[in-house]
Amino acid sequence: MKKIILLSILSLFVYPVLPSAKGSEIGLNIGYFYPSSSSVRDLYGNSWLLTGIFLQINEYQAYREVRTEYISLDYIHNSHNGEFEGYPYRASVTNIPLMYNTRYRNSGKNFYYVYGIGFNYLKVKVEMGGTSDSDSELDLGGQLALGYGTDKFGVELRYIEFGRTGNTGLALTLMGRF
């Protein structure tokens, strides 16, 4: 009896995050990330490639509004060559944010907004003067986005905050949902 009660309670928490067969969608995005910090841009470059995938986990329809919850996994990377005090260097940065997002859209409208929160894995590497150094960390992150598009294709302008890492900035992405 205890197992049945425990499984019933657990299902209340697990079931809402499992994708339903009806209405589930997988999506892909591609775009560029532009860091807001000039020192980060100086070291790692101006525009970083962003690619990602997302999986819808829930959709709710209320009067004149559709709310879609999804998990996203992005890959943001750039390599940059530069010079520091007369020494050439090569630097690379990789961010891998895993976020839980909610998209709000009024029924029949093409504009929507998104907010998300999750974790970001950061990996940096700098090579200079024959030596190399790298570091990585896990941090909290979040995003706010404005989007325009249909149920299948769209474009988003995101503000992404990666916590203490200093890799905060804007991203422009193209989205496709399947």
Q: What is the pLDDT of residues 115-138, one digit of tens each?
A: 999 999 999 999 998 899 999 999
Confidence of residue 39 (pLDDT cuts 50, 70, 90): confident
Residue 13 banded pLDDT, cuts 50, 70, 90:
very low
Q: Is residue 145 pLDDT above 80, yes or no?
A: yes
CA 12, 20, 144 angle in degrees (round to 5)? 85
Question: Is residue 47 very low, low, confident or very high in pLDDT (cuts 50, 70, 90)?
Answer: confident
Among the listed ranges 17-26, 46-55, 93-102, which one has the minimum average pLDDT value? 17-26
pTM of the model: 0.82
pLDDT tens readout for residues 66-113: 999 999 999 999 999 988 888 899 999 999 999 999 999 998 899 999
- Measure the CA–CA gap between 124 and 95, rounded to whole angstroms: 9
Per-residue pLDDT of 25-35, as tens digits, reads: 899 999 999 99
User: For residue 24, what pLDDT band results from cuts at 50, 70 and 90?
Assistant: low
Cα separation, 131 vs 8, whole angstroms: 57
Contact 39, 76 (CB under 8 A): no
**Domains in the chain, ordered, with CATH?**
18-177 (2.40.160.20)
78 closest CA partner among 113, 52, 43: 43
| Cβ-contact 29, 52 below 8 angstroms | yes
Query: Is residue 6 predicted with pLDDT exceeding 60?
Result: no
